[in-house]
Chains A and B, each alone.
Chain A
Amino acid sequence: MSKFLLFLGCTIPTKQYSYEISVRNVLPKLGVELVDFPESGCCGFPLKGLNKKAWIYMSARLLSLASKKGLPILALCNGCDTSLRKIKDLLMHDKDLREEMAKLLSNEGVKLDINAKVYHTLEVLHDFVGVERIKSLVQRPLKGIKVASYPGCHMLRPSDIPRPEDPVEPRKYDSVIKALGAEVGYYPDKGGCCGATLLPYSAKHALLIVASKLKTIKEYGFSAVSTSCPYCMEMIDAKQDAARSEVGDEDISIPVFYLTQLVGIAMGLKPKELGLNLNVSPVEGVLDRLGVSLYE
Chain B
Amino acid sequence: MDSRILNEVRELVKPHSPQYCYQCAKCTSACTATKVIPEYKPHLIVALTRLGSVKGLMESGIIWACTECWKCSEYCPQDVAPVEVVIALKNLSIAMGYKPPEDLKVMAKNVVELGYVSPPIEVLSKEFEMYGREALSLPELVKPYVSEGTPTNLKKLLGGVYE
Contacts and interface: CB of A to CB of B under 8 A. Distances in A.
A53 B157 contact: yes
B123 A17 contact: yes
Given A46-B107, A153-B70, A154-B70, A202 B115 contact: no
Interface of B is mostly: loop
Contact of A209 (B36, B61, B73, B161): B36
A201 B61 contact: yes
Given A192-B32, A202-B37, A61 B150 contact: yes
A48 B74 contact: no
A158 B37 contact: no
A202 B39 CA distance: 14
A15 B130 CA distance: 12
Contacts of B68: 48, 153, 197
A109 B145 CA distance: 12
A14 B118 contact: yes
B14 interface: yes
B116 A13 contact: yes
Contacts of B65: 198, 201-202, 205
Nearest to B140: A38
B118 A41 contact: no
Contacts of B101: 200-201
Given A21-B136, A48-B87, A157-B71, A10 B157 contact: no
Given A17-B131, A20-B138, A209 B111 contact: no
B154 A158 contact: no
Contacts of A61: 150
Contacts of B14: 94
A290 to B, nearest CB: 17
Contacts of A11: 117
Given A15-B118, A15-B121, A193-B32, A157 B154 contact: no
Interface size class of B (residues with CB under 8 A): 35 or more
Interface string B67-106: 1111101100000010000011011001000001111100
Contact of A107 (B111, B116, B144, B152): B152
Interface string A34-54: 001011111010111111111
Nearest to A279: B126
A164 interface: no
Interface string B41-71: 0000000000000000000010011111111
B24 interface: no
A36 B139 CA distance: 9
Given A153-B69, A201-B65, A295 B127 contact: yes
B27 interface: no
Contacts of B71: 153, 157, 193
Given A93-B15, A108-B146, A193-B32, A54 B118 contact: no
Nearest to A167: B74
Contacts of A212: 35
B41 to A, nearest CB: 15
B143 to A, nearest CB: 8
A26 B25 CA distance: 45
Given A46-B117, A202-B65, A109 B147 contact: yes
12 contacts: A10-B111, A13-B138, A14-B118, A14-B120, A17-B136, A47-B108, A49-B90, A57-B153, A197-B69, A198-B67, A201-B101, A295-B127
- What are the nearest 4 A-B pairs in CB distance? A108-B149, A41-B144, A41-B115, A157-B70
Interface of B: 12, 14-15, 32-33, 35-37, 61, 64-71, 73-74, 81, 87-88, 90-91, 94, 100-104, 107-108, 111, 115-121, 123, 125-127, 131, 133, 136, 138-139, 141-150, 152-154, 157-159, 161
Given A46-B117, A51-B91, A201-B61, 10 more contacts: A10-B117, A11-B117, A14-B117, A39-B144, A52-B88, A57-B153, A153-B67, A157-B71, A200-B64, A278-B126
